[in-house]
Every structure is written in structure tokens, then in C-alpha cells.
Amino acid sequence: MSSLNLDDFTDLIERPDGGVRRDAEARRERQIVPPGALGRLDELGEWLAAARGTVPVRPVERPRVVLFAGDHGVAELGVSARPAGGAEQLVRAVLEGAGPVSVLARRLEVPVRVVDMALDCEPDVFPKDVTRHRVRRGSGRIDIEDALTVEEAEAALLAGVAVADEEADSGTDLVVLGDVSVGGTTPAAVLIAALCGTDASVVTGRGGVAIDDLAWMRKCAAIRDALRRARPVLGDQLQLLAAVGGADLAAMTGFLLQCAVRKLPVILDGVVAAACALVAQRVAFRAPDWWLAGHDSGEPGQAKALDRMALEPLLEQGVKVGEGVGALLALPLVRAAAALAAELPEKPAAEETAGAEAAQAVEAPETE
């Protein structure tokens, strides 16, 4: 049995500073561009000010992409267009600068960190800084067996906590969170279906590389079978991650929780990050206040999870590749919101006074 008490996160996580947010809203009222004219950028700037505790909001200067990597045994069923155990090649492409996230990160000057939690390869094929948090080689086939032991799930979750602490301590001021996996969207769909009380068909998508109809049916059947195994442990989030999650998903859940503890804002990528966020929300209901949904990937499970957490995607580009790509595309939008909130000048005091007097004159009752 686990000695980890997830309820501690509920006590440790606070909401972003409401007083600072009100100050940010008041400052926005005083700026020369009318409130509402910038659409969601207003809301983003105010959220970021509250999350960072300052008005005017500080710019995002040290963002970082953090990707948790792992292989999933359920991929053996042909539920993914990629071969089972193929996440090693995806990680290699990221590290060598050939992955989509690497290309974007170079352009945006954002460092990328990959954390191997359960790749199905020898650990010495990657640098120690990638593999030092690894829990096991591959996660179990969740339609017939547990993904992890409870002890492994705890170790993975605590590894995610440790990575969050490392990022916060190093000065990272915003995280773009994603995954590098083969088969990862299947356990993600299981977690979402279990926590939202829906059937397998409602959450089964086509994955990052679109699968054909036969593979979709195999995936739907695997999710259905795994759901039967998930329902008896719904009340225990650690056992749920052990039964139908995986080491990378457990680590991402711990990472999200500890980022909320450390008041470190996170942009979520696709369905895997959304599933982990949903588990984390079950652990600590205030945690989602520290997260943004970067984009809508088109995966039905992601839409279900984000709706449950009341998170609205910033972008709708249909990016399905994973690896944090969709969330990284949203980073310039967040930076733009911070810049506008901090740098737009305020209206001259005389103009504000005249505006206030005009408003009072309109509102004043007529006298005889």
C-alpha cells in the first residue's frame, strides 16, 4: 500500500491572488484601449498578473517546454498508427532538434526538457538528465493488466513533483506541458471516461497520427475493457493511475499538482495532458486555476476533460501531433497578453476625470 497522502495537495494549493487580479482589472479600465477591445487577451493578462502576483504583470521571460515520455503496452493491440515501443524514436527526434516541437522551440527561443518515465528501451541510449527519473521500461497493457504497481505509480507521481520543484527552483516562470508517447492517448481516454462517467465511444479519438476505422474499433474495445478495470478504483486517484494510467501520466499528474503548489503557471497541450489535469483536479479542486488549455486538438476526450474543468482552449488549429506543439503555439499569445497588460499606457488623469463626470451627469436624476 502507498504511504503517499494526496489530500495534502488540497491544503497546499492556493488560488491565484484575487486582490492582484482586481488590481489588474482596475488598471485595465484605466488604459487607453477600451476594456473588451482586446478580447481574451484582457482575461489572459489579468490571469497572468494574479498567477504571478504583480501589477503590472511581469513579462514571461523564462518559459520551458517539459515533455514526459513513455511507451504503453496497449499499443501492442494496434491502437496507434505508430509501432509499439516507438516512443524512443520520437524522443530521439526531439533531442536531435528534428521534432516539430524542437523546430518551434528554436524559433521561439524556448528550451525543451524531456523526462523519460517509461520508454521501452535501454536507459543508457539517452543522457542521464533524460532518464534519471525513469520508473520502469514500458507500462502494462491496461485492457488486461495494471499499467503499474501502486509503488511504481507513487514513484512516478513523486518524480513529477520533483521535476516541478526543479523547474520552479531554476527560475522557470511558465511551463508548456506535453507528452512523447506511443499509445498514450488510450489510457488518457480511459481516465477521462472513468472520471466523467462516459462510455468508451464518447472519448475515443484517432490519435496524433490518424488511425483507420479498424484501428479505431480496436482502440474503442481496449478503452472499454480498461474502463471495467478502472471503475472499482475510481475513489483512489493513485490506484487509478496504477491500474489504467502509466508512468508518464502519473508523473504529469504529480507535476501539475506541484506546479500549482509552487504557483507556476502551466499551458496544457493535448488529450494526455488534459487527462492528467483531470486526475489532478480530483485530487485538489483549486489546481486548475493555475493552468491554461493551449489548444483544441480535436480529440473528443480532450474536449470532455476541458469542459469538466471549465478550461477554454486558446487556439483551434487541430494540431494532433502531441509533443507540446499545440500548447507551444499558444505561448506567443500569452506573452502578447502580458506585454499589452503591462505596457499599454493609461489614460491622462484629466480624461479620466472628464469621463467620470460625464457618467455622473448621465446617471443623475432630473430635478425641478
Residues assigned a catalytic role: 323
Closest of 283, 143, 272, 145 to residue 203, by C-alpha: 272
The greatest distance separating any two alpha carbons of the chain, rounded to the nearest whole angstrom, comes to 90
Taking CA 163 as the corner, what is the angle to CA 124 and CA 207, rounded to the nearest 5 degrees?
A: 75
In whole angstroms, give the CA distance from residue 34 to residue 294.
26
User: For residues 268 and 162, what is the distance between their CA atoms, to the nearest angstrom?
Assistant: 19
Bridge partners for 182 per DSSP: 71
Give the E-state strand segments of the chain in sequence order: 63-71, 112-118, 174-182, 266-268, 291-293
Residues pairing with 112 in the sheet: 65
What CA–CA distance (Å, rounded) separates 15 from 82?
Answer: 40
Helix, strand, or coil here: 127?
coil
Q: Report the alpha-carbon distance of residue 357 to residue 364 in Å, rounded.
A: 10
Length of the chain: 368
Q: At what angle do helices 325-343 and 18-30 cross, to 10 degrees?
A: 60
- The cell for 160 is 513529477
- Residues in CB range of 354: below 8 A, 6 or more apart: none
Rounded CA-CA distance 243/41 in Å is 40
What is the rounded distance in angstroms from the CA atom of residue 251 to the CA atom of residue 131?
13
Phi, psi of 267 (to 5 degrees): -100, 120
The answer for residues whose C-beta is within 8 angstroms of residue 257's C-beta and 6 or more apart is 6, 9, 13, 160, 161, 164, 280, 283, 284, 287
Name beta bridge partners: 31: 346
Task: Provide the grid cell at 366.
Answer: 432630473
Place of cell 487580479: 21
Cα 150 from chain centre? 23
